[in-house]
Structure formats: C-alpha cells, structure tokens
Chains A and B, each alone.
Chain A
Amino acid sequence: GAVVSQHPSWVICKSGTSVKIECRSLDFQATTMFWYRQFPKQSLMLMATSNEGSKATYEQGVEKDKFLINHASLTLSTLTVTSAHPEDSSFYICSARDPRANTEAFFGQGTRLTVV
C-alpha cells in the first residue's frame, strides 16, 4: 500500500534556529499534502495544505512566515519551522493521498520537535 515517510522522527533544536521536516510519498505522486500539528492530549490540527508547484494554503491562525512550506516535487513536501521557540514544540504530521487510488489519506509517522 501507499506509504508516506517523514524525516526526522524527532529533533531537538535551540531557540532561534530553524528546523526542516520532510514528507515523502514513497510509491505514489501526491499533488496535495497536508501538514498537521498535535499538542499533548489534543486533536490533530490542520496547519496548511501543500500544493505541488504552487503556494501552500494556510489555515486561519497559522503564521505562514513562521511555518514555511515547500512542495517542489510530486513526492516531497517540506515544512520549515523558522526561528523556533519552545512553544513550537509539538508533534508534526503530514498526510498525502494517491489521487489515482480510491483510498483515504496516508499519514507519515510524525516528527516530534522539541525546542530548548
């Protein structure tokens, strides 16, 4: 079945630095990918929709300059958390769907970001 891979699985960074998270669709081409974040004991909150070859669409309240999304190819979307602060510490998850298949979206394994 379709697989979505995220890298890294976890990362610790210092305040003020930037962190890049990759989301790859391994055996299908994803024209659209989605980025979510999850705080402890809370729901997965959609941050943005990543569209291949065009600008991402951000949900209300999500700072686009803070969370840079690039979807340069049909199999790769990246989320860069710029000038990270401790409150950005969270679990970030991407999802993608194979538009040719009659299946639901597949999720990556997530990235645990800790900003110290």
Chain B
Amino acid sequence: DQQVKQNSPSLSVQEGRISILNCDYTNSMFDYFLWYKKYPAEGPTFLISISSIKDKNEDGRFTVFLNKSAKHLSLHIVPSQPGDSAVYFCAARGTSGTYKYIFGTGTRLKVLA
C-alpha cells in the first residue's frame, strides 16, 4: 500500500522553463512533507519542506505547494537549470515529532539545455 505516490516517473523540461513535480498521499495524519533530490549512486539531499499548517513554502527557485483537501503537493522549480536534472522524491513524516520518512517512488527530471 503506497501511502505516498508520484505518478509521473519522468519529466523533461527545457532549460529556463518551469518544472512541476507532483505528489499525492493517502494518509491525512501526515503533518510534514519534504522534497529530496537524488543523483545516481548518492544518498538523497534535502531540498525543501512544508508543514501541513501552510499551503506554500518558497526557497529561491524552489516552491512547494500543499493542498490538504486534495492530499496533494507539488514542487515548482523556476527557472529550471540543467543541474536540476536528478530524481526527486517527495516524502511524508509518518508521525509528528519523529523523523521516520515515507517516500514516494520518485520522478526523474531531465532539464534540457
């Protein structure tokens, strides 16, 4: 039972355009969501997070939007750069106060120069 889902396994975007990565979850008890970026043969690197009490969090080129009623979050990258090419995982914290993450299946982003 996949509690965190990323339905798009891959995405290609032209450099300079916006990349939108989507994530859906099923457990309404999740209270904190994160996006991690992963290069091949490396561990994930934390990118940005959002608490369930917010609907938007922005950090430079990265913005995460949360729609609690739809149980949906998205990561916007604008402008996209070739160095952003990686696999992006969304994750949810399973229980408040712990750091036990439940990951989605990942979306491979390719930014074309």
Contact = CB atoms under 8 A, between A and B. Distances in A.
A54 interface: no
Interface residues of A, number: 26
B103 A44 contact: yes
A95 B91 CA distance: 14
The bracket for how many chain B residues form the interface is 20 to 34
Contacts of A104: 34, 46, 49, 99
B42 A44 contact: no
Contacts of A108: 43
Contacts of B102: 46
Contacts of B49: 104
Contacts of A106: 46
Contacts of B46: 103-106
A78 to B, nearest CB: 17
Contact of B99 (A4, A6, A97, A112): A97
Contacts of A34: 99-101
Contact of B106 (A9, A43, A103, A109): A43
Contact of A43 (B42, B99, B104): B104
Interface of A: 4, 6, 9-10, 32, 34, 36, 41-46, 49, 93, 95, 97, 103-110, 112
Interface of B: 2, 4, 9, 34, 36, 41-46, 49, 89, 99-106
8 contacts: A6-B43, A32-B99, A34-B100, A43-B4, A44-B89, A104-B34, A104-B46, A104-B99
